[in-house]
Amino acid sequence: MREAYAKLCGPNESEAAASPVGATPEPAVAQAQLDALNASSAQSIRKYIDTQNLSVGGLLVELDSAISSVTVSGDAPDQAAKE
């Protein structure tokens, strides 16, 4: 999962998510940073899916890096696009 994350989002973001540097931020700040990183990474995954020209309607990509989970949903026109 970590290699795929680095490939899609770039090694710098992947390393930042894996090993934060400096003092531990306040929990609210840390959560906001994690939410922003998850949103940015999900957007990168969505852009990659869009480049595949699959014609998926209502595409939604959610990433939760805390549990290494990506959820992709949408309306695919056929089985080949689903896979």
Q: Indicate whether 22 pLDDT > 70.
A: no
Q: What is the pLDDT of residues 39-54, one digit of tens each?
A: 999 999 999 999 988 8
Give the burial string for 33-68 (b: 16+ CB within 10 Å, else e): eeeebbeebbebbbeebeeeebebeebebebebeee
- What is the pTM (predicted TM-score) of this model? 0.64
Q: What is the pLDDT of residues 57-70, one digit of tens each?
A: 999 999 988 888 99
Mean pLDDT of 7-34: 69
pLDDT at 46: 93
